[in-house]
Structure formats: C-alpha cells, structure tokens
Amino acid sequence: MFRRQRLTEIILITVIGAIVSILNTLWLRSSLLKEIEKIAKINELNILRKSGKVTDIATKKSN
C-alpha cells in the first residue's frame, strides 16, 4: 500500500513538473519574441534617422 502511494506521489510530482516546465518555456519564448520586436523597431528607427548613412555596428563608424 505504501509503495503504491509513494509511486503515485512521484508520478504526480513528475507530471506537474513537466507541465510547469512547458508553460515556463512558452512564456519565455513569447517574452523573447516581444523583446526582439522592440529591438527591431528601434533599429528600424535608427536606420531611418541616419537617412542614407551606413554605420558599421561593430566599430560604430560611419562610412
């Protein structure tokens, strides 16, 4: 009886842990996509402001 109860507890904890892990991964993915969209908008605005100037991001020098 004790062994079956213990096995049930272990399975329940494992399933709950897997669900939490999946939800956490999905939340992090959506959060990361939002941050990427923000960065893309900022980069687009910077490109438009430069109006024709090409900037090397690695050296921060204008060509």
pLDDT digits (tens, 9 = 90+) for 2-49: 899 999 999 999 999 999 999 999 999 999 999 999 999 888 888 777
- Which H or E element spans position 56? strand 55-56
pLDDT over threshold 90, residue 63: no
Domain ranges of the chain: 14-48
pLDDT digits (tens, 9 = 90+) for 50-61: 755 655 666 665
The answer for residues whose C-beta is within 8 angstroms of residue 53's C-beta and 6 or more apart is: 62, 63
More confident residue, 34 or 1: 34
pLDDT of residue 28: 92
